[in-house]
Chains A and B, each alone.
Chain A
Amino acid sequence: MKKLAIIPAYNESESIKNTVEDIMRNAPEFDYIVINDCSTDNTAQILRDNNFNYISHPVNLGIGNTVQTGYIYAFRNNYDIAVQVDGDGQHDTKYLNEMAEYLIKNNLDMVIGSRFIDKEGFQSSKMRRFGINYFTILIKICTGKKITDPTSGLRMAGKRVIESFAREYPKDYPEPETVAAILRKGYKVEEIPVIMRKRQGGVSSISLKKSVYYMIKVTLAILVDILRKKV
């Protein structure tokens, strides 16, 4: 079983070292790859100086494409499992092994770490939870499956999903959209409860103004996906 942790990094000089060392310590059977999305700070230098395994985009492509590069890497190097770990310290890497075991044991295509099963730890703001609930309902209507935390970035993908993501992945706000698409393909997705921390550094990529765009874009994306042929 080859397992890979994908770490997208854009100007993460403060936290990237911790994130990588965290994975080495907590999930040693995972290989990792940092995808440096043409950072303008010294992220690349830190990666090089520490001899971390990383690749760099020649131009800035944004978070969605950066994660996708990781999945293409996973696909080409024949990984069985790939998990995305954000560089901002929100995700506790001690869950990686648990998620992998759960995925293998239940023969799943994707495992999502959900904040809202046990409702412990950082629960996000009221406004955000409202938006998350909305996506839960939308995905339930479109696919029949209840996903309590469709915006969770802590997601582990099996072989079939790696291949699918390597082929097609949204440019921005990919989480709810891709969960819906994966479910529609008939792949098996389950959630396990996790505790997330408040982000340790940086700001959320989703401001209030952007959240309107987020809701509209993701809703349309999920609805358009229904019109696509099942592959």
Chain B
Amino acid sequence: MMTNKFRIILILLLLLSLIVIIQLVRKRIVELKYVLSWIIVDIIVLIIVLVPGLLDAIASFMGVYSVINMVFFLGFCFLLIIVFILTVSLSRNSNKLRKLAQEMALRGEGKENGEKDEDDGQ
């Protein structure tokens, strides 16, 4: 179902994204913890593209007639999961931020006191 030309384009794209992601981790721009899921998906898709007939096998195993429908469905589910995990992470982070800010304020190290300290240093 896939022409070889398209297969090669896909493989190059997947390898490219993998390299970009790993570069970003290497430069510490993103945290490995949070891109792990993307790396795993990249590799899974790479395997699917590299092994001919694998996709059809999965589709027939899942009882899906149209292979492309299955691809869209799985992709959609995966995105929902990642977005939800990010929501959880956001809630946790905003809680931590709140506690930090409150603690700073209560210790008298809020915004304005910080400014005063800088003045003192001059």
Chain B contact residues: helix, strand, loop or mixed: helix
> Does A35 interact with chain B (Cβ within 8 Å)?
yes
Interface size class of B (residues with CB under 8 A): 10 to 19
A38 touches B111 (CB 8 A): yes
Q: Which of B26-34, B56-64, B97-105 contacts A (4 or more CB under 8 A)?
A: B97-105
Residues of A within 8 A of B97 (CB): 59
Q: Which of A50-58, A196-204, A214-222 contacts B (4 or more CB under 8 A)?
A: A50-58
> Does B42 interact with chain A (Cβ within 8 Å)?
no
B112 touches A57 (CB 8 A): no
> Taking the nearest CB of chain B, how far is it from the CB of A7, in angstroms?
14
A56 touches B113 (CB 8 A): yes
Give CA–CA (A50, B100) in the complex, Å: 27
> Taking the nearest CB of chain B, how far is it from the CB of A37, in angstroms?
9
Give CA–CA (A111, B102) in the complex, Å: 26
A44 touches B106 (CB 8 A): no
Give CA–CA (A56, B108) in the complex, Å: 7
User: Which residues in chain B, 19-38, are within 8 Å of chain A measured between CB atoms?
Assistant: none
Residues of A within 8 A of B108 (CB): 55
> Taking the nearest CB of chain B, how far is it from the CB of A60, in angstroms?
9
> Does A48 interact with chain B (Cβ within 8 Å)?
yes
CB-CB under 8 A for A36 and B98, given A57-B105, A58-B105: no
User: Which residues in chain A, 25-72, are within 8 Å of chain B measured between CB atoms?
Assistant: 35-36, 38, 44, 48, 55-59, 61, 65, 68-69, 72
> Does B75 interact with chain A (Cβ within 8 Å)?
no
Q: Which of B102, B109, B112, B113 contacts A72 (CB 8 A)?
A: B102
> Taking the nearest CB of chain A, how far is it from the CB of B4, in angstroms?
53
Q: Which of B102, B106, B109 contacts A61 (CB 8 A)?
A: B102
> Does B53 interact with chain A (Cβ within 8 Å)?
no
> Apart from A57-B111, A58-B111, A69-B102, what 15 extra A-B contacts exist at CB < 8 Å?
A36-B112, A44-B111, A44-B112, A55-B108, A56-B105, A56-B110, A56-B111, A56-B113, A58-B104, A58-B109, A61-B101, A68-B102, A69-B105, A72-B102, A72-B106
Residues on B facing A (Cβ under 8 Å) = 97-98, 101-102, 104-106, 108-114
Return 22 A-B CB contacts under 8 Å, by A number: A35-B105, A44-B112, A55-B106, A55-B110, A56-B105, A56-B111, A56-B112, A56-B113, A57-B101, A57-B110, A57-B111, A58-B110, A58-B114, A59-B101, A61-B98, A61-B101, A61-B102, A65-B98, A65-B102, A68-B102, A69-B102, A69-B105
